[in-house]
Chains A and B, each alone.
Chain A
Amino acid sequence: MAADLDTILKKYKQGRREDLIPLLQEIQAENGYLSEESIIKVGGHLGLSTTKIFGLATFYDEFRFVPSGKVHIKICHGTSCFVNGSQPVIDKFKEELKILPGQTTRSGNLSFEIVSCMGGCYHGPVILVNGEYQIHVRPEQVPDLVKKLKFIIEND
């Protein structure tokens, strides 16, 4: 992992302030999250204090600081999905997984987050489970879905 970080840093040799966000985005795309170690390294590279970088990264929704679960679920909460009933679906996920949006279960298997619009507005509520879209999701389907996912993870 550390080697990856160095190759990414090499791409931004000039170390300008403008590069900070693309740099963090690339690290996140590579590792799935921003580790403490990577933030310190980026700070050293750009000559910025760690607190500044951490402050910036927490300001934006995209960055996360804990690894996501083996299965990551994205739930759309755009206006159209909301009108079509995404709130009960989110509540059900919270209840079933016993975590809040943005968190990962203690086993490290499942995580979920709320996004503002995925673009499938007619088919709402839309959820994205490991790269596969599911449309017209009803809260009643959630317990079965979670059971199925847990089964898949355990037998993997």
Chain B
Amino acid sequence: MEDLKTFLIQKVLLFESDTLPVETEKVLQQIRRDKTNVPVIHISSNTSSIIAGSEKTLNAVQTYIEENEPGALTVRVGCSGPANYEPMVCIQMPGKNKLFFRNITEEKVEALLNGVFHNDINEDDLLGQAGTRGFEFWPGISFMDDLPFFAHQKRVVLGNCGCYDPESIEEYIARGGYSTYVKTIRHYTYEEVCDIIERSGLRGRSGGGYLTGLKWKQALNTSSNARYLICNAKESDPGSFSDRTILESDPHRLIEGMAIAAYAIGATNAILYLKSGSDYARKRLQSAISKAREYGIIGHNIYSSGYNLEILLRQEPGAFVCGEETALINSLEGKRGMPQLKPPYPTTSGLSGKPTVINNVETLMNVPLIMQNGPEWFRSIGTETSPGTKIFAITGRGRMSGVVEVEMGTTLGTVLEDIVDGIKDGKEFKAIQLGGASGSFITAENLDTPVDFDAMKQKGFGMGAGGFVVIDETSCMVDMVRYYMEFIRNESCGKCIPCREGTGRMLEILESVIKKPVNEDSGTTLERFKGVMQLETISSVMKDASLCGLGQTAPNPFVSALKHFREEFEEHIFDRKCRANVCRGLRTFLIDVEKCTGCTVCAGKCPVNAIYGTRLQPFFIVEDKCIGCGICYDVCKFSAVIVK
């Protein structure tokens, strides 16, 4: 083990030329398991696949191997993207291409492995094959790259995800990792690194789209005795998991990116600010950081370059607003995570008053690639003003789900139709919600918008951190807006009045819209209409007067939903109807005469005595009295109560 470490450091990391000698390459091939004499079984292992049961699959595979194929290897790898195919299993037979299988739960393991080892492959769960030159093809099996889910992607940043064991630094180095970093700190000055990143045109991937190189230069040019780099892995949007997938599948590239960025601004301390609750990612990162320290990637006088670096892992204690730069710094300083007025920007006065650069995970993941391949290479991908790729976490009602990476300039329609492959269960598409809790709804007419910072901004959409929620006709837009508003109301820090009061009042009004008043004559109707009239005014005040991005963008879901789905709001307000039958308060019930046995249970439970009838005869509901609580629907044992 010690020999391997010295070998990797001396012959790979400290090797100055671009092409490695053949003997070194041979050892690396072994580490990468390119050529194996025994079957290797890769099992995806991240939060998403563990939830789907991959640990049980792994146990089943190991038991099978012990009994039938001693010598075969099992490797835990990261996530390769499609969450609906979890748990994914990839089998590499000696000398042959890798075979990928989907949804391998523990009970399927035996049949699958029996099949593969005896050359009788079950086609149902088979996804495809993948491999490089020199391997034998499996005849009649399609390639993974030809699957529509992968064919329309450009996996650059996610290139390593799902290919290697994230807990093994040796494998990362064998795949070309960390040598860029070592070259950078040995041969480039701070300014040169900033220059390269600026020339590449890399823009911050957290939504604002600020030039990363420029930000670094601002921090570098502020004179100070200490500087800090913070990697914002907070990813607060509910339902966005791309950062978490990266952290779990490729933690070493993030550390390399952080180390290069810290070097570029001359920081000796870097902090990784992790989301609360992501324990699996924390475990992987802790192990990755300690391995990096073992290999001298971080530490004192790194590879005799005279540069020192320390990476600290901090877990955020659970507040949405801490994704905001100044709030994040406050929380790191042991205060409440409340935003502050900018300027001064963190690049001039951040953590402990020192210049601080805050970059998000996706931005930093791009950095080692740019340093390795050069800024021109990066500019050749994507559009003129937004080079590179963008990662989306696709969730919701789409047929496919998971983490995807597309070239900038790809239209949203391509993502939805080709990669996501339309809507589940043949339902009607309604909208895409892009950019998390403060993003906007994008409807069918805007699907031709390209993924590009400027094009998006022009149409008034924010890309945010890459949450991509597919919404279909089973969701009610008013309820969606209420959900987001409730989330923001709970997460508003309470510092400034427009946000604190505005979100509360907007939620109150929206809740009155989706509830049926107990009686209409007590002035509640008037109050409700008065409220509805105010919604748009409140939104514009919040947008103008809130202190930070959270409050300024909080009305976005409402404003865009009102623009595209006005008729749905009007239906709720005037007709008291919810077309998706989601809003519980507005449902009306009917008793099916055929099914009702007259057992009187519903009539006994009804809180407003709206159900009448004679015992053992079909009952009926008086609609005017019904408050839509749904108790009768829940208690009926004969499914005789139906939602109208």
Contacts and interface: CB of A to CB of B under 8 A. Distances in A.
Same complex for A and B? Answer yes
A55 B47 contact: no
A79 B84 contact: no
Nearest to B439: A79
A79 B241 contact: no
A18 interface: yes
Contacts of A124: 395
Given A117-B239, A121-B83, A122-B86, A62 B335 contact: no
Interface stretch (A21-29, A65-73, A144-152): A21-29
Given A62-B318, A118-B47, A119-B278, A83 B52 contact: no
A118 B275 CA distance: 11
Given A60-B318, A79-B238, A17 B47 contact: no
B487 interface: yes
A77 B335 contact: no
B277 A79 contact: no
B317 A121 contact: no
Contacts of B244: 119
B483 interface: yes
A78 B484 CA distance: 10
Interface string B286-322: 0000000000000000000000000000110111100
Contacts of A60: 317-319, 337
A62 B48 contact: no
Residue from A18, A117, A119 whose CB has the most chain B CB atoms within 10 Å: A119
A83 B334 contact: no
B337 A117 contact: no
A109 B240 CA distance: 32
Contacts of A22: 314-315
B277 A77 contact: no
B318 A61 contact: yes
Interface stretch (B33-41, B376-384, B396-404, B450-458): B396-404
B475 interface: yes
A59 B238 contact: no
Contacts of A135: 51-52
Contact of B395 (A18, A21, A59, A122): A122
Centre residue among B52, B239, B436, B467 by max chain A CB count within 10 A: B239
B399 to A, nearest CB: 10
Contact of A19 (B237, B334, B336, B393): B334
A20 interface: yes
Contacts of A120: 47-48, 51-52, 83
Nearest to A135: B51
Nearest to B278: A119
B119 to A, nearest CB: 32
A80 interface: yes
Contacts, number: 123
Q: Which of A56, A77, A116, A123 is the most central at the interface, judged by chain B CB atoms within 10 Å of its CB? A: A116
Interface in A31-79: 55-56, 59-63, 77-79
Given A117-B238, A123-B51, A61 B334 contact: no
B276 interface: yes
Interface size of A as a range: 35 or more
Interface string B316-331: 0111100000000001
B153 interface: no
Please indicate which of the listed interface residues B238, B244, B333 has the most CB atoms of chain A within 10 Å of its own CB: B238
A80 B239 contact: yes
B433 interface: yes
A126 B51 contact: yes
Interface in A109-156: 115-124, 126, 133, 135
A133 B471 contact: no
A111 B402 CA distance: 31
B276 to A, nearest CB: 5
Interface string B179-202: 000000000000000000000000
A63 B146 CA distance: 48
Nearest to B320: A116
B241 A117 contact: yes
A121 B241 contact: yes
Contact of A63 (B317, B332, B333): B317
Given A80-B469, A116-B487, A126-B51, A56 B333 contact: no
A79 B50 CA distance: 20
Contact of A55 (B336, B437, B480): B336
B205 to A, nearest CB: 19
Contacts of B493: 59
Given A18-B333, A59-B336, A80-B469, A116 B238 contact: yes
A136 to B, nearest CB: 10
Interface string B224-241: 000000000000111111
Q: Identify the interface centre among B84, B244, B317, B331: most chain A CB within 10 Å of its CB.
A: B317
Contacts of A80: 239, 395-396, 401, 469
Nearest to A59: B336
B582 to A, nearest CB: 8
Contact of B83 (A21, A59, A116, A122): A122
Nearest to B479: A87
Nearest to B487: A116
A120 B314 CA distance: 23
Contacts of B51: 118-120, 123, 126, 133, 135
A24 B483 CA distance: 31
Given A22-B314, A119-B51, A122-B83, A78 B331 contact: no
Contacts of B48: 119-123
Interface centre among A62, A63, A115 (most CB of B within 10 A): A62
B277 A21 contact: no
19 contacts: A18-B334, A22-B314, A56-B335, A61-B319, A77-B238, A79-B238, A79-B437, A81-B239, A83-B395, A83-B471, A116-B487, A121-B239, A121-B395, A122-B395, A123-B51, A123-B83, A133-B50, A135-B51, A135-B52
Given A17-B334, A121-B241, 11 more contacts: A21-B314, A22-B314, A63-B317, A79-B237, A79-B395, A82-B239, A82-B483, A83-B397, A116-B238, A121-B393, A133-B51
Interface of B: 46-48, 50-52, 83-84, 86, 236-241, 244, 276-278, 314-315, 317-320, 331-337, 393, 395-397, 401-402, 433, 436-437, 467, 469, 471, 475, 480, 483, 487, 493
